[in-house]
Amino acid sequence: MLIKNLDKKQLIVCTIILFAALTRLLPHPPNFTPMTAIALFGGVYFTRKLNAYLTPILIMVLSDIFLGFYTISIFVYLSYLIIVYIGVRSKKISFLNIFSSSIIFFILSNLGVWLIGYPKSWNSLVECYVVAIPFFRNSIFGDFFFTILFVAFYEISKKALIRKA
């Protein structure tokens, strides 16, 4: 039923996101995941913006059923909602949007780690972020890799559909 109501471009968006979501369940380097790219890409390319906001949260909840929920999950989910908002407001994918999304995820997820698992001091806050730098590097690489891959696949698929029409 849902697929009947989708136009071809939205079907491409859903297909990209579905395949990307499945990769969350595959082995990967820490923080090298498609989730930030899904949030940003969905914010830009979903015509129904409610779908853009619901998609990363639904993917996280469903995959966390298998991978496990964490005490910082609310911070992670919040970061994805903000990243969707960046996509919705900017209406485009850019270097700045991808990098900003990586920074937002880094700041919020590690704020959650600090609030839940560290003593409440400036030194421990700094320590928490410093310890997370290697994960941030993987996040940036993953965010750029997956976002560029999604946009390229979308544009190629869209052109193929136009040629068929």
Confidence of residue 47 (pLDDT cuts 50, 70, 90): very high
What integer pLDDT is reported at residue 90 of this predicted model? 97
Query: Average pLDDT in the 114-126 region?
Result: 97
Cα 148 from Cα 93, distance rounded (Å): 9
CB 13 within 8 A of CB 46: yes
Q: How far apart are the first and last CA of the chain?
A: 23
Mean pLDDT of the chain: 92
Express each pLDDT in 97-112 by its tens digit: 999 999 999 999 999 9
What integer pLDDT is reported at residue 80 of this predicted model? 98
Burial (Cβ within 10 Å: 0-12, 13-18, ≥19) of residue 52: buried
pLDDT score of 25 more than 90 = no
What integer pLDDT is reported at residue 2 of this predicted model? 45
What integer pLDDT is reported at residue 9 of this predicted model? 87
Of the candidates 119, 40, 122, 137, the one whose C-alpha atom is nearest the C-alpha of residue 79 is 40
The amino acid sitting at 26 is L
Percent of residues, the chain, with pLDDT higher than 70? 95
What integer pLDDT is reported at residue 1 of this predicted model? 38
Confidence of residue 6 (pLDDT cuts 50, 70, 90): low
What integer pLDDT is reported at residue 159 of this predicted model? 85
Query: Average pLDDT in the 122-142 region?
Result: 97
What integer pLDDT is reported at residue 26 of this predicted model? 86
CB 99 within 8 A of CB 83: no
pTM of the model: 0.91
What integer pLDDT is reported at residue 58 of this predicted model? 95
